[in-house]
Structure 1
Amino acid sequence: MILSPGTLVAVVDGETLNLFRNSGTHTPELTALPSASVPDRTSGTAGHRSSSANPDNDTQAEDGFAAGVAALLNQMALSGEVDDLVVIAPPRALGELRKHWHKALEAKLVGEIAKDLRHQTPDEIAAVIAKA
């Protein structure tokens, strides 16, 4: 995947959000951005309750975090802080994020990668993006 310079890359899991800005032209070169404050959400999708499909409070907390990340990214898209966006998250978290995206954010989304890259360096993340 080739990214435009300035593309925002969000690496998300159930507990953390790491933001990077691409400065490369032909290959991704990621620079870490300061930590963003994620709005506090107590649960994910409305009506989500513990069950065999959603067994514990940790899962609900992860869903709530994903909803908070989506709210932050929506706000950034609506305010014009983001022109292009790539989201990298484990498949389950990515699914929860999608439920909360605003149409303005969806229009700026240039790529999704369903992987857990939370513990990877910016160079390792850039390599995964380049291969996508």
Structure 2
Amino acid sequence: MAALETGTWVLVADGEKALFLRNMGDAQDPNLEVVRKTEQEDPPNRDQVTDAPGSMADGGPMQRSSLEQTDFHQLAKERFAEDLADILYRQAHRGKIERLVIVAPPKVLGALRPHLHKEVAALVIAEIDKTLTNHPVIEIEGALKAELG
């Protein structure tokens, strides 16, 4: 199991918020310092949609197929994952990140993975599928210590 060594960065994210933390302590006594906090406003899809889904002509006479409604809320979460991947790449490229732990719900992890540059992906020592963005840093430290041993 990966250890939360001194200097390890921790990304705690969901689809709308992210905390970039750095461990100033060690694996036995983590002391996470907030490096950066990022948020995006992402109202529910119902507040972003203005029209009903459309339809299109389909094959035979007088036949129409309905189109699926665009999920703007989900699109915004995916764009946010891309933004997080860009931030991580810039920090890794500057040599600021040597080890990285990512803490996010499964959907966010899935959206983030394909956007991680290979340079960043190589630094990931652990992924934890939890939502901890609304927890105080001390609780995040405890959760990481429990998960990473």
Bin for the TM-score computed over the shorter chain: 0.7 to 0.9
Cα-Cα RMSD: 2.3
Q: Please, which runs of 5 or more residues in structure 1 have no aligned partner?
A: 39-50
Which of 103, 106, 109 is the aligned partner of 2:118?
103
Q: Please, which runs of 5 or more residues in structure 2 have no aligned partner?
A: 41-66
Deviation at 1:16, TM superposition (A): 1.1
Contact 1:17 1:36 in 2 (8 A): yes
Between structure 1 and structure 2, the one with the greater Rg is 2
Which of 33, 36, 40 is the aligned partner of 2:35?
33
| Comparing 12-21 and 27-36, the one that deviates more | 27-36
More strand by share: 2
Contact 1:86 1:112 in 2 (8 A): yes
Contact 2:16 2:39 in 1 (8 A): no
Q: Tell me which amino acid in the other structure corresponds to 1:114.
A: D
Q: TM-score normalized by structure 1? A: 0.81
- The SS at the match of 2:122 is helix
Deviation at 1:107, TM superposition (A): 1.4
Deviation at 1:98, TM superposition (A): 0.2
d(CA) in 1 for partners of 2:133, 2:140? 9
Q: TM-score normalized by structure 2? A: 0.72
d(CA) in 1 for partners of 2:98, 2:38? 18
Identity across the alignment (%): 34
Deviation at 1:37, TM superposition (A): 8.7
**What is the match of residue 13 of structure 1?**
14
Deviation at 1:27, TM superposition (A): 2.8
Contact 1:2 1:28 in 2 (8 A): no
Contact 1:11 1:19 in 2 (8 A): yes
Summarize deviations over 1:69-123 as a string: whole Å, max 9, x none.
0111112112211011111111100111001111111111111111111111111
- The SS at the match of 1:4 is coil
Q: Tell me which amino acid in the other structure corresponds to 1:2.
A: A
- The SS at the match of 1:35 is strand
